[in-house]
């Protein structure tokens, strides 16, 4: 057999073997790395590869270790886990239920809005789905809500954290696509093609690009609840509540203000260019600690004023960074610069004092230790998978797998449209069986460089992929949001209720992708406007 053809066959067998082993439940990182090394050994025995082909691995690993953007991953994980432990979701759900519960379909709308707020503040799908399932699902079912609609809206809203920034998916996807754009440029230069321009991309671009599509999905979810209320009023009955409007307004302000300020501080600093995603993630982690400190203080009946002042100090520091001149590296320093620096110094003092109080309270209650342990476990899992995926992608290319993928996509009828549709369909299909991290690290590095050489906008492509990856949480049999919800659902809700309830929302995801496909400015306008 021709050595080139034999190598391509081995690369496809390696991909199939990895998918099969993952379905059997083997650890992801060791499956990727171990399978790749096994097939590399076979290829070496058949004289298809050389040992020097693995020489690029140390550089890849060192690149991961020194990648400043990836520092945002453990920080965002810490932020999400800490907010989940601070019971912010419970307060939001109760308040939104009081606000919308008397409307037909109001509880469903409340769940979607809370899912959006939690997505922009925590981004932890499992915690969001479990919390909303525990708090909202029994109330919705006991008040006559259709079980399928109730489970569907909770599972779908809980996955918004994969699209709405700040999202770990967008951080990982942005980092991989940044390397893919450079690889695509090198490929075009080697082929002597200079008329295809591939614009640069980073995590900030994906954060900005995902904002409007994420809000579009929120609007589509709410629209579906309203359609159900119009077509089948009995499936979404109103809930009679005796609520003092004045007390509701005070509660709404008290519950909504802290997460809103945190979201504004994190996303605002990123989109305004005041801080890169990594530094904004650090702001989010500090803000999450303070919110947890406030929650503990309220539960114990203590004063939380120092922590509130620390929160105001964060806002002052962020605004000063955006609007004031803090630069001393010039010949003449204005008086206003000294005053601005003095203001920031005072704000830092308030911040440190309030943060120390919040840290002591979270440590005393055991929350800080638990959050740090969980954050370390999740972050370690992500990075070990990343290292295993590096071996897989390197061996896949060494065996010639990238060439056969390139040939298949290039020969698709419809050109660019056909190639992209094939990749999206493949990712959608793999989402039935694989986790989003596995798809990001295995599929994306292989197909993205090829798609970019066809002239596809990288920001638009990244947003389309992120929404597609979000759908993987909802598709049975291995949709993680379905497992999370099944674990906390009352006995009256069956597994088939959950599976049937998610069908309309999977279709909504597809409709959302179709809208963004036909109106790419939804994903590209804001990043271009911020440049």
pLDDT, tens digit, 9 for 90 and up, residues 396-408: 888 887 778 777 7
Residue 435 has pLDDT above 80, yes or no: no
pLDDT at 331: 66
CA-closest candidate to residue 387, choices 437, 421, 430:
437
Report pTM: 0.84
The whole-number average pLDDT for the span 8-25 is 83
pLDDT at 218: 93
pLDDT at 1: 60
pLDDT > 70 in the chain, percent: 95
Per the model's pLDDT, the better-predicted residue between 50 and 332 turns out to be: 50
pLDDT, tens digit, 9 for 90 and up, residues 410-426: 777 877 888 889 889 88
pLDDT at 505: 92
Number of H helices, E strands in the chain: 24, 0
* Residue 276 burial by Cβ neighbours in a 10 Å radius (0-12, 13-18, 19+): middle
pLDDT at 296: 86
CA-closest candidate to residue 449, choices 383, 401, 518, 380:
401
pLDDT at 126: 67
Residue 329 has pLDDT above 70, yes or no: no
CA atoms within 13 Å, Cβ hemisphere of 168: 24
Per the model's pLDDT, the better-predicted residue between 112 and 102 turns out to be: 112
pLDDT at 333: 66
Residue 128 has pLDDT above 80, yes or no: no
The H or E element spanning position 42 is helix 28-45
The CA radius of gyration of the chain, in Å to the nearest whole number, is 25
The whole-number average pLDDT for the span 205-233 is 91
pLDDT category of residue 219 using cuts at 50, 70 and 90: very high
pLDDT, tens digit, 9 for 90 and up, residues 447-492: 888 888 888 889 999 999 999 988 888 887 767 788 778 777 888 8
Residue 519 has pLDDT above 80, yes or no: yes
pLDDT at 238: 80
pLDDT category of residue 516 using cuts at 50, 70 and 90: very high
The whole-number average pLDDT for the span 206-221 is 92
pLDDT at 313: 87
Q: Give me the residue label for tokens 């990856």.
A: 469
* Residue 258 burial by Cβ neighbours in a 10 Å radius (0-12, 13-18, 19+): buried
pLDDT at 33: 86
Lowest mean pLDDT among 14-23, 30-39, 207-216, 256-265: 256-265
pLDDT at 252: 78
pLDDT, tens digit, 9 for 90 and up, residues 364-400: 988 899 889 988 888 888 888 888 888 888 888 888 8
Q: How far is CA 350 from CA 275, 306, 311, 322, 363, in A?
A: 21, 8, 9, 20, 20
CA dihedral 444, 445, 451, 454 (to 10 degrees): 170
Residue 90 has pLDDT above 80, yes or no: no
pLDDT > 90 in the chain, percent: 12
Round to whole Å and give the CA distance between 160 and 351: 31
């Amino acid at each position: 057999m021709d050595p080139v053809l034999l190598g391509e066959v081995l690369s496809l067998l390696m991909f199939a073997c990895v998918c099969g082993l993952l379905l059997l439940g083997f650890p992801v990182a060791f499956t990727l790395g171990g399978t790749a090394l096994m097939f590399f050994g076979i290829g070496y025995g058949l004289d298809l590869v050389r040992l020097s082909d693995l020489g690029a691995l140390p550089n890849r690993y060192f690149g991961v270790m020194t990648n400043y953007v990836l520092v945002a991953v453990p920080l965002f994980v810490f932020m999400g886990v800490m907010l989940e432990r601070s019971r912010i979701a419970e307060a939001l759900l109760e308040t939104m239920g009081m606000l919308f519960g008397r409307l037909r379909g109001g509880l469903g709308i409340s769940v979607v809005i809370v899912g959006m707020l939690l997505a922009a503040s925590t981004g932890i799908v499992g915690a969001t789905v479990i919390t909303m399932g525990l708090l909202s699902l029994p109330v919705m079912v006991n008040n006559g809500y259709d079980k399928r609609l109730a489970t569907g809206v909770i599972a779908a809203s809980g996955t918004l954290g994969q699209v709405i920034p700040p999202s770990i998916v967008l951080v990982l996807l942005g980092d991989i696509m940044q390397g893919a754009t450079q690889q695509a440029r090198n490929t075009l230069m080697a082929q002597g093609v200079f008329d295809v321009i591939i614009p640069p991309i980073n995590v900030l671009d994906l954060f900005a690009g995902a904002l409007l599509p994420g809000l579009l999905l929120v609007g589509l979810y709410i629209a579906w609840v309203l359609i159900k209320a119009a077509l089948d009023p009995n499936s979404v009955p109103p809930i009679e509540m005796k609520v003092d409007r004045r007390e509701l307004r005070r509660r709404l302000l008290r519950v909504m203000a802290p997460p809103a300020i945190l979201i504004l501080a994190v996303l605002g600093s990123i989109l305004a260019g005041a801080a890169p995603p990594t530094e904004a993630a650090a702001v989010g982690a500090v803000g999450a600690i303070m919110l947890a400190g406030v929650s503990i203080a309220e539960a114990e009946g203590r004063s939380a004023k120092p922590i509130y002042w620390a929160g105001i100090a964060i806002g002052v520091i962020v605004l000063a960074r955006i609007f004031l001149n803090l630069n001393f590296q010039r010949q003449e320093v204005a008086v206003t610069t000294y005053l601005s620096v003095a203001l920031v110094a005072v704000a830092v003092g308030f911040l440190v004092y309030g943060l120390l109080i919040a840290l002591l309270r979270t440590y005393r209650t055991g929350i800080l230790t638990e959050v740090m342990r969980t954050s370390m476990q999740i972050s370690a899992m992500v990075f070990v998978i990343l290292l295993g995926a590096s071996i897989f992608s390197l061996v896949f290319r060494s065996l010639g797998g990238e060439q056969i993928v390139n040939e298949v996509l290039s020969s698709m009828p419809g050109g660019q449209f056909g190639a992209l549709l094939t990749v999206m369909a493949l990712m959608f299909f793999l989402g039935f069986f694989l986790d989003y991290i596995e798809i990001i690290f295995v599929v994306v590095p292989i197909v993205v460089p090829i798609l970019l050489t066809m002239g596809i906008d990288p920001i638009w492509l990244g947003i389309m992929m992120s929404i597609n990856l979000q759908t993987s949480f909802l598709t049975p049999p291995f949709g993680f949001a379905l497992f999370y919800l099944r674990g906390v659902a009352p006995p009256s809700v069956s597994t088939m209720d959950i599976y049937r309830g998610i069908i309309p929302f999977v279709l909504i995801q597809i409709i959302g992708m179709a809208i963004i496909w036909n109106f790419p400015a939804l994903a590209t306008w804001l990043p271009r406007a911020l440049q």
